[in-house]
């Protein structure tokens, strides 16, 4: 369920993120709180493994939760969505994740008129920035810490 942008200053740990990823995600959300209408976290996309229709509901729910892909953050602005992949160190794997998630999110939500991509992290691996640039995917770095 989306939360309104006015509540982007979240105190609780975000789901499925490590403490450092959580700090990066919160820094990103704070920076962009005026840019979007709402946000969702731990968004499942794709169909995952299909089990027989005769299976109990709890098994179908478990199979979906365990085998679908997971977007860290999806923010919304009107009819457009933006997927934010959060990594401590951004590399090529995040690029692949973002491209796949975009395809799956667009398929799951045909009501979106556009799906944009952003990588947020603390650092970026050598030699990968150019690939993000060529694909028009912004990379945002936040030198955050989990210690006070």
CATH 3.40.1350.10 fits 16-141, yes or no: yes
Domain coordinates of the chain in residue numbers? 16-141
Q: pLDDT tens, position by position, for the chain (148 residues)?
A: 677 766 666 778 888 999 999 999 999 999 999 999 999 999 999 988 888 888 898 998 888 888 999 999 999 999 999 999 999 999 999 999 999 999 999 999 999 999 999 999 999 999 999 999 999 999 999 997 766 5
Residue-level pLDDT at 145: 77
The per-residue pLDDT for 8 is 67
Q: Residue 46's pLDDT is what?
A: 94
- Name all contacts of 14-18 with Cβ < 8 Å and 24+ positions apart: 14/41, 14/42, 14/72, 14/73, 15/41, 15/42, 16/41, 16/42, 16/70, 16/72, 17/72, 17/86, 18/88
Q: Which pLDDT belongs to residue 32?
A: 95
Residue 125's pLDDT is what? 96
């Amino acid at each position: 369920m989306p939360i309104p942008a006015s509540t982007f200053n979240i105190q609780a740990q975000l789901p499925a993120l490590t403490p450092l990823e959580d700090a990066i995600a919160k820094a990103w959300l704070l920076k962009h709180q005026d840019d979007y209408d709402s946000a969702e976290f731990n968004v499942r996309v794709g169909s995952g493994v299909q089990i027989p229709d005769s299976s109990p509901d709890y098994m179908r729910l478990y199979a979906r939760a365990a085998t679908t892909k997971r977007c860290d953050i999806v923010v919304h602005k009107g009819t457009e969505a933006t997927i934010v992949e959060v990594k401590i160190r951004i590399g090529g794997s995040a690029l692949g994740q973002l491209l796949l998630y975009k395809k799956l999110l667009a398929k799951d939500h045909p009501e979106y008129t556009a799906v944009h991509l952003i990588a947020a992290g603390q650092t970026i691996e050598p030699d990968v920035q150019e690939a993000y640039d060529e694909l028009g995917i912004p990379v945002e770095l936040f030198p955050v810490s989990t210690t006070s």
